[in-house]
Amino acid sequence: MLAKIHVTLKNGVLDPQGKAVNSALNDLGFKEVRNVQIGKYMEVLLDGVSESEAQKRVKEMCDKLLANTVIETYRFTLDSSKK
Amino acid sequence: MLAKIHVTLKNGVLDPQGKAVNSALNDLGFKEVRNVQIGKYMEVLLDGVSESEAQKRVKEMCDKLLANTVIETYRFTLDSSKK
Total count of domains within chain A = 1
Instruction: Tell me which chain A residues have a C-beta less than 8 angstroms from the C-beta of B9.
Output: none
Query: What's the rounded Cα separation, in Å, for the pair A69 and B17?
Result: 20
The SS3 of residue A22 is helix
Alpha carbon dihedral B60, B72, B1, B81, in 10-degree steps, equals: 150
- What is the percentage of chain B residues whose pLDDT exceeds 70? 99
Of B32, B35, B46, the CB nearest to A32: B46
What pLDDT digit, counting tens, does each position of B19-78 carry? 999 999 999 999 999 999 999 999 999 999 999 999 999 999 999 999 999 999 999 999
Instruction: Tell me which chain B residues have a C-beta less than 8 angstroms from the C-beta of A30.
Output: 57, 60-61
What is the span of the domain harbouring residue A32?
Answer: 2-79
Of B24, B28, B43, the CB nearest to A37: B43
Indicate if the pLDDT at residue B83 is higher than 80.
no
Quick one: how far is CA A4 from the chain centroid? 9
Q: Classify each residue of A2-22 as buried b or exposed e, where b means 16 or more C-beta atoms within 10 Å of its C-beta.
A: bbbbbbbbeeeeebeebeebb
Of A32, A38, A65, the CB nearest to B42: A38
Rounded to a whole number, what is the distance in Å from the CA of B81 to chain A's nearest CA?
A: 16
- B17: closest CA among A35, A54, A66? A66
What pLDDT digit, counting tens, does each position of A16-30 carry? 999 999 999 999 999
Q: Closest-CA residue in chain B for A57?
A: B30
Distances (CA, A) of B75 to A22, B9, B24, B83: 19, 12, 28, 21
Rounded to a whole number, what is the distance in Å from the CA of B47 to chain A's nearest CA?
A: 5
In terms of Cβ atoms closer than 10 Å to its own Cβ (0-12, 13-18, 19+), residue A63 is: exposed
Instruction: Tell me which chain B residues have a C-beta less than 8 angstroms from the C-beta of A74.
Output: none
CATH code of the domain covering residue A64: 3.30.1280.10
What pLDDT digit, counting tens, does each position of A31-55 carry? 999 999 999 999 999 999 999 999 9
Terminal-residue alpha carbon distance, chain B: 5
Query: Cβ–Cβ of A21/B35 closer than 8 Å?
Result: no
- A25: closest CA among B78, B67, B8, B70? B67
Q: How many CA atoms lie within 13 A of B39 on its CB side?
A: 26
